[in-house]
Structure 1
């Protein structure tokens, strides 16, 4: 008998059995989904709603469970999720969305009810073991296959100037001017919420798109699908929480600066606004009302600077102002709150840049203690909201994501676990409790919180994000548009920025000649015009007064746009209600409303403000040439005394040039120690002296620009150069130098602060100064793209334009292009000086014909939480374009003090009629409305 065929068959059968065992997949049905388990890992797919799916992947021995700080939703109970299985796939369908799991690769693909592909994973998930401060986990990554023609947006607020993230890499780490939300949206009407709090990178390249995080227990993300991007964002808020409505006052103008020194100064500014009848609702008190860094955020007013804070708040309220105040998670060492936190071991160990320490907001008991002092010291005085600064937290005044990451990880752990694991979530957990305590305190006043960071879910805490300490330049200003749009498109609807920029000549700002420089005032004017069309309209900054009357020839333009904001208050407040009631987004990238026009996918300097106003800010100068940026003094300009290239550098471990550490030759002065200091200087303080020869290659005016926080000076040929601009950076007096001439050069810096530091020497040369004097003629116009398949009206003139074209529109200093799509209905109220001065009566209703339209007017008591109980009223305005007919529906609902009878002045807009800021003297119809449905034909 020939046994070879039998043995061969047995051998092959054994191999098959082994292979099947190794690749064995166990499939379990779970509530609303399925779980798959293999030898190499496990996967869980669970529907939360018919269009939202949670995907969790973990390694053998691991778990799908983890603490989620962002997600507050639970899976719906009565979903009809059908599971089926074939040889290659597990298929789950809700009727609206189908998820297919490839058994071999465990990769997921998503299709809609028509079977059309939405998104697919690609490649294997990656898990690389890591340990941070004793906390074990994995660096995790999931890859996705995007289609070539889709746009990707969201991810929070970032300063690279990116709008569409296709082909880009974005690092998600909180920093001074960067805010994180790991939620992206696609023009294919899906979103991905990556539920991870560690340092994360989104990358899109030729190999595909990916999300990578450096610390987690598992891969955990939510896939959200909708019929449009608004539905996708609504799904995000279903998971993470709804955005509450602010008091109407919050949608008015905010005046701030760094900072009002005394109660008297703040009150004088408020009184002048009322005297000049310039519309305003809010004053902001920045830091140091406590008087001294040792008292930092002690939750009290210094009695000499602010002797009667309760009376001050009461008087401001009588003047119809609201007062917001700066508070910090950083606490000065001479304050009772610091001592109480320290006694309870609630403070992080590092000493911050101003001598303070940060408390651990991840600890609920620490937040309770924080609120105790906040309530007793400030809330009790009548303050109307909290500006919580430095919520990264920024321990050492870092200027980069890398520095924030480095410094926070050095702390080790917080109450919940390692800082590596919870790097980005500080602002979320802090605002969670501050908002909750406000709500427990009162229902008569709506909460308001302003922070410098964001995270998934933070919108539920009545939190607005501002874009941090930006510098004054046209390029930085332009980048705020894409930063704000992506922040809004990541699901957190309230965003603002420092109108005028925080600093003039530092942090990439170029206006070192001060706030009275008309070139700066021109920039301020354009930033102000943008601010009118952001969710929160707020001016703030340092170095120069920011009040409207301080801006020279541009003051009248500022007043005009301020008045426009207030005339639009019925439109804005109604849309704010839509944010709360329907998960709407007010500041909208063009792809949200024109997803079929792919030309909009990269338009990063226009946006929709609600459904009816397309804003095209002016993002370059027209009237005054701005100062030019300085450049690094290159190595080629330096030699040592012995003729070597570079400068002799002596490093000391003390700030007084006493404890010598090291001598080297440095090519130039360009140190950036934001990821830790070298061993030859101490962590807390040091000093450095560079000596050598400076040999310029141009003759004429030069000016040194010193980029560091430290005490510093330049000695040139034995003379110490004077400082002419002092901020977080310095400019020295201009000096005349000769090309080829050798100058004795000394640069000294003395550092007294902890943590990250930098010392960079820049300058302006004669060729740079020459560019500042150029007076090239610039047209006072702006190119605007008009999205396709829409008829557009010029807001200022009523002239119409067809879509899918570029047009050149007038943009003098008191105008920016504003375009209104056909079918829009815009309610405009009377001129007012504050948001609640009087009811919106008469109300001008501007109708832009060419398409059917609808607008819902919302009104309530303006500042309490009765709206949550249904105490409000709405009126629908419906335009039938075919019949040229307007229907005003029956008023739904009521509230105390509502108008029972009012006048609507209805204007069907045409060229020269119903345009611009002014109340129209002519109208097509005046309607006396008593709450009963009425229809008017035009």
Structure 2
């Protein structure tokens, strides 16, 4: 037996869940069922077939110190009942199904029928596909499951496939308005399906069904249970909650420093700058853990200069390694690289292997950490070996690799990012306690919040529809228990990946979209602009730049509020970005609202998700088969497929009815996996007269030849658009389309176009009003942030939404601290601090402050001040300060504004506060 195998077996044995007296085990036919309470409100349900095993390695669940609880157990002929003070479990002796009840015997959730175990063999791994059916109550809402691009918020009546991909991030934790959550502890492909009569959870590989049922009086308590099991979310440095500037990518040190200096010169608030890929100079050097000296001649001095300018900088690193790098050679020598060659000629290392992660950190520390970088942007953590872009292709390509250090990819399909971020975070913490760790990553998994990891939503395209989908994606990610999420403000690409803005970043229609995305980003946990093809700096957006600066300043004025909420995340398992059902669980009208959310306890954010000023370009559409004829007049096109990229080695000739293939789960035998070319010939027959534009969706080189003329490409990215051409309806045009592919793995070629009717729509004037419909949840009175007007909840109404505003509604009873205008988070203490009180209900808020960085907060070195508003007596009590920290202001000014119409409103500092008080740390009560 190999030593590594022995170590793994010992690890598996030691990681088995501890036996306690907190539960029972029964056998129902050929199924074993074990239910164990981990706390009064958390029970683990474990099922296995008699030919299987209860043994389980959990990568997500780290909670081991299970207390001995007073669990009541009774049994009769039909079933066994176990109960704590907060939860009752009924296990059927007939089929092993479980019913979960509250202490009053109300059913929270029912399993239905016998669990399914179907034997499964994948390469050298054997286990079962597993499935458990459930019965939901009629009206409950289901949320969570990570971040997906489906565009829906509530999963009732919906299906979600849990597989990592570029724009999808997985967390198999769902949460219900019925007062429970389920952590489904399986790492293989998983499906949640509520589209049929019987909802279910299914996974593709496992030895058992293993999940945790968590109850709580509200969703925050349920998420707290999830984090008890999987780990707390640490606090970032205060700088991380400021503005992040990024783009794909800064070519040189001089360019990056020029951007940093210009922000400071213009006085635009910013804390963070990101260096994306290719600072290593060339694909062969991919993520080699060094700066190319010709591009970045003095990286240590660059980082020092940025720090002196009060910036923090993080940098893109990959689990993919270029073949010319020293780290690649070292990984290969130790057998730590996966065999497939990725889309840029690199290979991925096995992040499931602790020894491989140790070696990775060795190079990361020497090459980048030592230069003063402040965190890591770990890209492609699915991992995306072949630029696959879809869940189906990601699953296919990863499983094709066979195995990793822990076992088969079929079994551990979704957990790569958890494994990698766990060790990278661990090494950072071992290295220093003076600087808080920060990781940005494209994938997530249950437990990843403990690794100081933020997820971003991947390489999205620029369109209003894609943008709107990010709201539901971010809300469900946050409601999965992983609190830090962001997205590419402005989208990664403009005219590809469903993006429509092929006219570029100076197109006012795109700049309007960018502005609305920026306004959403102002109220996401991490506020970050990023993307390709066009500059993303705030001053690049013409007439919209003043609006961007306004919302950037608003973010910084709100930092005392946001940083205090971040402390609540760490200390009390809070969630900052909140779907409406989190705070209005009793208002069923909120259950399907996917374009509003609560930011902290007080602010309802209502992003504008449609164009109001400039009409966006129309989407292109597939060219249908009716428009094609072969050379001899038949339907379709003559297609020639070659097994080389240069049209030399002809493999197959056939008739294609359209040009529309996506080979994401294996290529046909008439092309190769690494390189091929295709040529289509025939006639094109349009049915409209006027301007047409071809849109080619594929990788690598391609061309359209029309009547012997090669059309010029006017947009070239991961997709291409040709120059517009005038065509006549009914006329036949000689058409040749060619594609030359050199990429491994996933492949596609789709021919779309925009027709005269589409261009006519683009030329029409936009007819949208400058208003936005907002639903005001019932049970609260709402203040308009911009003007202080009050509205009763329980109905929808229109709010003015010109380009410099989005509807922001503040719940009565809120207390919001707002700091002074600053250009970076640590420029000065939040003094004087404006305290806005929104009357109409009692309220409370805890102001948290510390040194802004380092881990002293874990030792209790911080301060909190409680603010309590009594609406009946109109008194504000500012409590005694608890704690202290180096640099803390012992005496400070609080300006109190009781919000009313046109008073204590908007972004500006309230000129005439209702009271001003000097606070020295003792309790003060103020009467209004």
Q: Secondary structure at 1:493's aligned position in 2?
A: coil
In the aligned structure 2, how far is the partner of 1:61 from the partner of 1:791? 59
Q: Distance in 1 between matches of 2:838 and 2:241?
A: 25
* Structure 2 counterpart of 1:936: 926
Q: Check whether the contact 2:62–2:229 (CA below 8 A) recurs between aligned residues.
A: yes
Cα deviation 1:675-724 (Å, max 9, x = unaligned): 11001111111000000001111111000001001211011111111010
- Give the Cα–Cα distance (whole angstroms) in 1 for the partners of residues 290 and 390 of structure 2: 31
Deviations 1:458-510 (A, max 9, x none): 00000000000000000000000000000000000000000000000000000
- Is 1:255 the counterpart of 2:261 in the alignment? no
Q: Which moved more, 1:69-78 or 1:607-616?
A: 69-78
Structure 2 counterparts to residues 713-752 of structure 1, below 5 A? 713-752=703-742
Per-residue deviation at 1:83? 1.0
Offset at residue 110 of structure 1 (A):
1.0
CA-based RMSD of the aligned residues comes to 0.9
Q: Does 1:615 align with 2:605?
A: yes
State yes or no: 1:587 paired with 2:577.
yes
Structure 1 gaps, min length 5 = 1-28
Asked whether the 8 Å contact 2:42–2:215 carries over to 1, the reply is yes
Which residue does 1:266 correspond to in 2? 256
In structure 1, distance between residues paired with 2:677 and 2:104: 68
User: 2:685 pairs with 675, 685, 695, which one?
Assistant: 695
Q: Secondary structure at the match of 2:895?
A: strand
The reply to whether residue 200 of structure 1 matches residue 190 of structure 2 is yes
Could you say which residue in structure 1 is the equivalent of 2:909?
919
Separation in structure 1 between the aligned mates of residue 314 and residue 487 of structure 2, nearest angstrom: 16
Matched, 1:672 2:666: no
Structure 1 residue 206 displacement after superposition: 3.9
Asked whether the 8 Å contact 2:336–2:350 carries over to 1, the reply is yes
* Alignment counterpart, residue 590 of structure 2, candidates 600, 603, 608: 600
Task: Answer yes or no: is the 8 Å Cα contact 1:49–1:75 preserved in 2.
Answer: no
Name the structure 2 match of 1:19.
Answer: none
TM-score, normalised to structure 1's length?
0.97
* 1:390 maps to 2:350: no
Instruction: State how far apart, in whole Å, the 2-side matches of 1:205 and 1:587 are.
Output: 27
Answering whether residue 301 of structure 2 is matched by residue 275 of structure 1, we say no
Check the 8 A contact 2:21/2:68 in 1, yes or no: no
1-side partners of 2:177 and 2:632: how far apart? 63
Alignment partners' CA distance in 2, 1:247 and 1:156? 25
1:685 partnered with 2:675: yes
Q: How many residues align?
A: 911
In structure 2, what is the equivalent of residue 95 of structure 1?
85
Q: What is the distance in 2 between the residues matched to 1:566 and 1:38?
A: 59
The one of 835, 839, 863 equivalent to 2:825 is 835
Q: Does the residue aligned with 1:300 lie in a helix, a strand or coil? A: coil
Within the alignment, does 1:293 sit opposite 2:283 as a pair?
A: yes
Q: After superposition, where does 1:336-355 map in structure 2 within 5 Å? A: 336-355=326-345
Q: Give runs of aligned pairs for residues 53-452 of structure 1, distance below 5 A.
A: 53-74=43-64, 76-452=66-442
Verify: 1:466 aligned to 2:456, yes or no: yes
Instruction: Give the ranges of 4+ consecutive aligned residues of structure 1 lying more than 4 Å apart after TM superposition.
Output: none
3-state SS of the aligned residue for 1:641?
Answer: coil
What residue number does 2:779 align with? 789
Pick which of 80-89 and 525-534 moved more: 80-89
* Cα drift, residue 913 of structure 1: 0.5
Name 2:762's counterpart in structure 1: 772
Does the aligned pair in 2 maintain the 1:548–1:559 contact within 8 Å? Answer: yes
Q: Deviations over 1:387-413 (max 9, x none)?
A: 000000000101110000000000000
CA shift for structure 1 position 74: 2.0
Any conservation in 2 of the 1:452–1:466 contact (CA below 8 Å)? yes
Q: Report what 2:480 is aligned to.
A: 490
Distance in 1, matches of 2:766 and 2:374, equals 48
Residue 798 of structure 1: aligned partner: 788
Contact residue 488 and residue 529 of structure 2 kept, 8 A: yes
Structure 2 contact 28–95 (Cα < 8 Å) conserved = no
CA contact (8 A) 1:635 1:646 kept: yes
Query: How far, CA to CA, are the matches of 1:67 and 1:777 in structure 2?
Result: 58
Distance in 2 of aligned mates of 1:499 and 1:843: 30
Cα distance between partner residues in 1 of 2:52 and 2:494: 52
Alpha-carbon distance in 2 for matches of 1:64, 1:37: 13
Q: CA deviation at 1:776?
A: 3.1
- Answer whether contact 2:831 2:892 (CA < 8 A) is retained: yes
Native 8 Å contact 2:494 2:500 kept in 1? yes
How high is the TM-score relative to the length of structure 2?
A: 0.98
Distance 1:353 1:187 in 2: 43
Query: Following TM superposition, by how much is the alpha carbon of 1:38 offset from its aligned partner in structure 2, in angstroms?
Result: 4.2
Distance in 1 (alpha carbons) for counterparts of 2:801 and 2:39: 47
Answering whether residue 891 of structure 2 is matched by residue 887 of structure 1, we say no
Report 1:417-566 matches (<5 A). 417-566=407-556
Conservation of the 8 A alpha-carbon contact between 2:274 and 2:315: yes
Distance 2:485 2:82 in 1: 38
Aligned residue in 1 for 2:16: none
Q: Is the 2:596–2:607 contact (alpha carbons within 8 Å) kept by the matching residues of 1?
A: yes
User: CA, structure 1 residues 75+85, in 2 after alignment: closer, same or farther (shift >3 Å)?
Assistant: farther
Distance of 1:343 and 1:602 partners within structure 2:
53
Q: Is the 8 A contact 2:145 2:172 kept in 1?
A: yes
- 1:741 match: secondary structure: coil
Whole-angstrom CA distance in 1 between matches of 2:343 and 2:724: 31
Cα distance in 1, alignment partners of residues 35 and 548 from structure 2: 53
Q: How far apart are residue 859 of structure 1 and its match?
A: 0.2
Determine if contact 2:685/2:730 at 8 Å carries over to the other structure. Answer: yes
Structure 2 counterpart of 1:32 = 22
Instruction: Tell me the alpha carbon deviations over residues 408-463 of structure 1, each in whole angstroms, 9 at most, x when there is no partner.
Output: 00000000000000000000000000000000000000000000000000000000
Answer yes or no: is the 8 Å Cα contact 1:792–1:801 preserved in 2. yes
Structure 2 segments unaligned to the other structure (5+ residues): 1-18
The structural deviation recorded for 1:377 is: 0.2
* Counterpart-to-counterpart distance in 2, 1:789 and 1:39: 50
Q: CA deviation at 1:87?
A: 2.0
**For the pair shown, which has the larger CA radius of gyration, 1 or 2?**
1
Q: Partners in 1 of 2:226 and 2:77 — Cα distance? A: 34
**1:290: Cα distance to partner?**
0.2
Whole-angstrom distance in 2 between the partners of 1:789 and 1:206: 34
Mapped partners of 2:264, 2:112: distance in 1 = 61
| Pairwise CA distance, 1:208 | 2.2
Contact 1:91 1:98 (C-alpha < 8 Å) held by counterparts: yes
- Which of the numbers 860, 866, 880 marks the counterpart of 2:856? 866
